[in-house]
């Protein structure tokens, strides 16, 4: 079993909900809530990798943009 970590960047979607993309892999998914997108990430990782190549951990980076008046 490979012992590596995969990282996902999650952003709020313009249409509502969240979009997630893996850094360094062609894995994209989405969810209406933060919990849904986390569950979708796990499912996408399990679909993308064979058992022998499955990452040991998933790191999630949440990008939150805010605009503040100057």
Encode pLDDT of 10-39 as tens digits: 999 989 999 999 999 999 999 999 999 999
5: CB partners within 8 A, 6+ apart? 55, 56, 57, 58, 59
- pTM value? 0.87
| Domains of the chain, residue spans | 5-63
What mean pLDDT is predicted for residues 30-58? 96
pLDDT band of residue 1 (cuts 50, 70, 90) is: low
Given the DSSP bridges, would you call strands 18-22 and 28-31 parallel, antiparallel or unpaired?
A: antiparallel
Tell me the CA distances in angstroms from 29 to 1, 2, 6, 54, one per residue in order: 25, 23, 14, 18
Quote the percentage of the chain above a pLDDT of 90: 81
């Amino acid at each position: 079993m490979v012992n590596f970590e995969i990282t996902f960047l999650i952003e709020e979607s313009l249409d509502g909900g969240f979009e997630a993309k893996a850094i360094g892999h062609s894995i994209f998914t989405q969810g209406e809530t933060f919990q849904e997108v986390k569950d979708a990430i796990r499912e996408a990782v399990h679909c993308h990798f064979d058992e022998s190549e499955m990452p040991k951990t998933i790191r999630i980076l949440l990008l939150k943009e805010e605009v503040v008046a100057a």
